[in-house]
């Protein structure tokens, strides 16, 4: 049941409500966050008891309701499994993305992550079909490796960043890219798989 639809709560009031509600959700989940955090609209947060999530100042995360028209009504998500770490720097802006950490996702300062992008540091499943038949073993043997997004990176809409990737400082990742390998700093990169197109000399 959607209370918003029943009572037709104006969008501006919902925006105001969810900023404070989401701060309460983060606080009650023992997420460390800095000043002026704004998480707009309905948002999915999962933090395992042994996981750590730390967010710097000025964090903005828009979630659904076409806050970013490219996202339509995609709900944002931060998911930290047992023992995982998600570290987010200052002045990071995100639109309806999904962060899934089994091991570690680190995001530097002044990073922008486009609508509907996914950062996932795990295969989620084993590559061995016999292991996948056993759900407990499947999860245990899925490979993972840390993701690092350095300062001032811009990731376009609809990108997928996979395990073990480091995106160097000031680099730009084109929309719709699948980043399977690390990208050096000061690069413009795009494609599936994502490759460096040219150096970013701006």
Question: What domains lie within the chain, and their CATH numbers?
Answer: 3-199 (2.160.10.10)
- pLDDT band with cut points at 50, 70 and 90 for residue 202: low
Q: For the whole model, what pTM was predicted?
A: 0.89
The whole-angstrom separation of Cα 14 and Cα 192 is: 38
pLDDT, tens digit (0-9, with 9 covering 90-100), for 27-76: 999 999 999 999 988 889 999 999 999 999 999 998 876 566 676 678 88
Strand-strand pairing, 38-40 and 60-62: parallel
Taken in order 103, 172, 197, 98, the sign of the CA dihedral is positive
The whole-angstrom separation of Cα 192 and Cα 174 is: 10
Q: What are the CA-CA distances from residue 149 to residues 33, 110, 136, 184 (Å)? A: 18, 10, 31, 11
The length of the chain in residues reads 202
- Residues marked active site are found at 125
């Amino acid at each position: 049941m959607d209370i918003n639809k029943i009572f037709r709560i104006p969008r501006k009031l919902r925006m105001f409500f969810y900023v404070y509600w989401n701060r309460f959700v983060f606080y009650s989940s023992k997420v460390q966050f800095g000043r002026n955090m704004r998480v707009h609209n309905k948002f999915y947060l999962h933090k395992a008891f042994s996981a750590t999530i730390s967010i710097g100042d000025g964090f903005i995360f828009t979630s659904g309701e076409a806050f970013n028209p490219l996202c339509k009504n995609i709900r944002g998500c931060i998911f930290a499994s047992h023992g995982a770490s998600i570290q987010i720097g200052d002045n990071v802006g995100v639109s309806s993305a999904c962060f899934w950490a089994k091991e570690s996702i680190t995001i530097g300062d002044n990073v922008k992550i486009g609508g509907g992008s996914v950062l996932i540091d795990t295969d989620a499943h084993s590559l061995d079909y016999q292991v996948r038949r056993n759900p407990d073993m499947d999860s245990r043997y899925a490979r993972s490796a840390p993701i690092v997004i350095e300062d001032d990176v811009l990731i376009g809409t609809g990108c997928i960043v996979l395990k073990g990737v480091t995106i160097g400082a000031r680099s730009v990742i084109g929309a719709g890219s699948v980043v399977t390998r690390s990208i050096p700093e000061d690069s413009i990169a795009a494609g599936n798989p994502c490759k460096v197109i040219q150096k970013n000399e701006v």
